[in-house]
Amino acid sequence: MPWIRLLIAVALAATATNLSFAQSDPFDPFGLPRDQEFSKAIEAGTRSAKGEPGPKFWTNTAAYDIEVEIIPDEALVRGKAKLTYTNRSPRALRRLQVHLRQNLHLPGAQRTRTVETTGGFEIDAVTRDGEAMRRGRRGYRVRGTVMTVQLPERLASGESTSFEISWHFTVPRAGRAPRMGHENKKVFYLGYWYPQFAVYDDVSGWVAEQYLGNGEFYMGYADYRLAVTVPAGWIVRATGELENAAEVLSERSQERLRTAMESRDIVKVIARDEIGDGLATKADANGKSTWIFRAEQVRDVAISTSNQYAWDATHAVVKDRDGEGKDGKCRIEAVYEPGTGAWNRAAEFARHTIEWMSREVYPYPWPHMTACEGIIGGGMEYPMMTLCGSGGRARGLQGLIAHELVHMWFPMIVGQNEKWDAWMDEGTTSFYEGLIEAEFWKSEDMTAAESRADVTKRTIRGMARRLARNPGAPCVGHADFTPRGAFVAAAYGKPSAVLHQLRNLLGDEIFFGALRNYVAKWAYKHPRRQDFFAAFETAAGRDLGWYFRAWHHEVWTFDQAVALRREGDEVIATVKNLQSAVMPTTLVLTLESGETETLEIPVDYWLQGNREWSQKVNTKTAKARIDPERLWLDSDRDNDEASL
Ligand SMILES: [Zn+2]
């Protein structure tokens, strides 16, 4: 940015700060920062201060009709789509913003990771009503990974508009692209492969940020029809329900998939020794097959295809899916190259998480959940689909699959912005992953059994030590601009531990109830961090700004210390709050007789700015201890005990 523009930007930023300052309450070091845009949304009634959507909340929507051919020998994808956008906002739109994320791979593209350079997303044609649209201000423009389509006339509230686009791109090799690619032209996973509308939301309007590689996504909900053409013998799994099974699957495969919906066993749709026998699929006269999928209310679609995969299937029982007391079923699938780690157990791992999350959080709404092996090192989530590396031993793979499948709730059902608040999906996902993992292995191996309370204790202990060494970066930082080394703790481990700590603060009923309510209220919508925070405040019936300020917005640490001293015949106990964060204090005194007395110092005492608390206590006191149950992220445990 040239210096003169920089000066203007600084001046504008200063004005904005002053404005928000003028509107704030008297300075409160423990309050949440004000956000003008968000306050305006509350005034407009699209949001509320209760952590629920406001009465005037809206989302825009879209429909995609996509035909795509995957040509494995050339690692080439050719696509053609009709994109329809519906404006349900109260404002008329002049233009549409569309992501072309394959442009991450263009030579010279802005990015935060090293990737294979390809030709990027190559546009063959853009048409509206059969007429070609031109590149330029009046047609469409492409800047990096974002395309802007100028509308011939404003799109009024309640109206829809369509255009058609055809394209092709070279699929990057596995390991040379974030979250997608191909392995030796034998296994393909397509993510971020089609033109996708950016989100236009009630708070910020268009949110069409560049795809730089690290930061993930913000996506709107849409309906899709997807026709995927592949060579004979290749199986295709994708987001959505397969509509033409009779045309692409053999009788044998169809029968096995039906059995999977009735049986708790893992059914081999393609067993290890059946790979390549040609008996699983059907092809047309041209030696190809076209698989048609339909998906509703999803924020993205992904495709997995291979002629090397074994294919397992079973089903999960989805508690209360069709209303209270009316359970539903969801097909569970795993596709993998046989012999890879513990993948022959992947369907079992996937079923456990889908059933657990449906029971504990919100019913899984979609017809299937498919775990695909290969391509990447870790795991990545897509609606109804996950792509995971080999995952090593059973325990590692179970944890990885649990993590990716919790993402079906955050951010797939609850459409958070993963770039601005990666912690909202990664932290919450890591939190549930820990509970699910412990529960899965409890049933398997009682010697390693951990209760929920054990998981909370272990997570808090580990993170307290870590924060003592290095407080890291704030959770709320932008995913693309938080240093890589600090990002993982700020987005995953810390917000997960901070949720465990919040569970300790609020108790299970309020805490888990707040999370369930948050998911139910924000399903298929776009909550902001303020909505997440307010959901807990509403459930708890009190202001928790001080908590979220300390643990999400700042890198404050927490350390309270206790001391005992004798003054004449009296015993004085002192508790000091040594760092910026505050938490309520429980002080347990052990008397000479061995009996105990407990004193509570409410958090309000510390919130008033007090740094020290002192009181005469029982003259028979021998020992004192604070935080006896290890509920808080206290960075120094050595000063939690004192004796006389
Ligand atoms: Zn994740």
Distance 596 CA to ligand 1 centre (A): 44
| CA 367 to centroid of ligand 1, rounded, Å | 22
Report the pLDDT averaged over residues 400-412.
98
**d(Cα 76, Cα 167) in Å, to the nearest integer?**
11
Cβ atoms of 161 and 84 within 8 Å: the answer is: yes
Of 224-238, 445-459, 467-481, the poorest mean pLDDT is in 445-459
Mean pLDDT on 87-114: 96
CA of 433 to the centre of ligand 1 (A): 10
Q: What whole-number distance in Å separates Cα of residue 406 and Cα of residue 430?
A: 8
pLDDT digits (tens, 9 = 90+) for 134-186: 999 899 999 999 999 999 999 999 999 999 999 999 999 999 999 999 999 99
Amino acid at 628: P
Q: Rg of the chain over CA atoms, in angstroms?
A: 27
Rounded distance between C-alpha atoms, residue 620 and residue 439, angstroms: 44
Residue range 591-636, pLDDT digits in tens = 999 999 999 999 999 999 999 999 999 999 999 999 999 999 999 9
How far apart, in whole angstroms, are the C-alpha atoms of residue 226 and residue 240?
A: 8
pLDDT 10s digits, 172-225? 999 999 999 999 999 999 999 999 999 999 999 999 999 999 999 999 999 999
Average pLDDT along the chain: 93
In angstroms, what is the span from residue 143 Cα to ligand 1's centroid? 28
The model's pLDDT over 38-60, given as tens digits with 9 standing for 90+, comes to 999 999 999 999 999 999 999 99
The answer to whether the peptide bond before residue 471 is cis (omega within 30 degrees of 0) is no
How many angstroms is it from 381 CA to the middle of ligand 1? 7
Asked if residue 316 lies in contact with residue 298, where contact means CB atoms within 8 angstroms, the answer is no
What average pLDDT does this structure show over 466-493?
Answer: 93
Q: Give the Cα separation of 163 and 300 in Å (integer).
A: 19
Query: Is 571:564 a contact under the CB 8 Å cutoff?
Result: yes
CA of 345 to the centre of ligand 1 (A): 21
Q: What is the mean pLDDT of the segment spanning 241-263?
A: 97
pLDDT (mean) for 104-110? 95
- Ligand 1 center to residue 190 CA distance, Å? 18
What local confidence, expressed as pLDDT, does residue 18 receive? 33
Backbone angle region of 594, left / alpha / beta, with phi > 0 → left and psi within -120 to 50 → alpha: left
**Residue range 579-590, pLDDT digits in tens:** 999 999 999 999
Give pLDDT, residue 128: 95
**Residue 403 Cα, ligand 1 centroid: separation in angstroms?**
6
Please state, in angstroms and rounded to a whole number, the distance separating the CA atoms of residues 409 and 356: 12
Q: 113 CA distance to ligand 1 centroid (A)? A: 18
Count Cβ atoms within 10 A of the Cβ of residue 102 and give its class: 0-12 exposed, 13-18 middle, 19 or more buried: buried
Separation between Cα atoms, residue 214 and residue 488, nearest integer Å: 11
Distance in Å, CA 260 to ligand 1 centroid: 28
Provide the percentage of residues in the chain whose pLDDT is more than 90.
90
Torsion of CA 613, 618, 622, 627, to 10 degrees: -40
425 within 8 A of 410, measured Cβ to Cβ? yes
What pLDDT band is residue 17 in, cutting at 50, 70 and 90? very low
Residue 363 has what pLDDT?
98
Using H for helix, E for strand and C for coil, what is the string for 398-456? HHHHHHHHHCHHHHHHCCCCCCCCHHHHHHHHHHHHHHHHHHHHHHHCHHHCCCHHHHH
How far, in Å, CA of 25 to CA of 29, rounded? Answer: 11
∠ CA 427-433-434, nearest 5°, is 95
pLDDT class for 20, splitting at 50, 70, 90? very low
Contacts of 385 (CB under 8 A, 6+ apart): 237, 238, 239, 302, 304, 369, 370, 372
CA dihedral of 15, 17, 20, 23, whole degrees rounded to 10:
-80
- Ligand 1 centroid, distance to 251 Cα (angstroms): 37
Mean pLDDT computed over 2-30:
42
Confidence of residue 12 (pLDDT cuts 50, 70, 90): very low
353 Cα to the center of ligand 1, angstroms: 14
Paired sense of beta strands 385-388 and 379-382, if any? antiparallel
pLDDT value for 19: 32
Please give the backbone phi and psi of residue 481, each rounded to the nearest 5 degrees, phi first.
Answer: -120, 10
Length of the chain: 644
pLDDT given for residue 448 in this prediction: 67
Distance CA 568, CA 209 (A): 67
Cβ atoms of 151 and 95 within 8 Å: the answer is: yes
Longest Cα–Cα distance of the chain, Å, equals: 100
The backbone region for 175, taken as left when phi is positive above 0, alpha when psi lies in -120 to 50, beta otherwise, is: left
- Cα(151) to centroid of ligand 1, in Å? 36
The reported pLDDT for the residue numbered 27 is 61
Confidence of residue 447 (pLDDT cuts 50, 70, 90): low
Q: What is the pLDDT of residue 444?
A: 76
Cα–Cα distance, 284 to 287 (Å, whole number): 5
- pLDDT tens-digit map of 484-524: 889 999 999 999 999 999 999 999 999 999 999 999 999 99
| pTM confidence score | 0.94
Type of residue at 398: Q
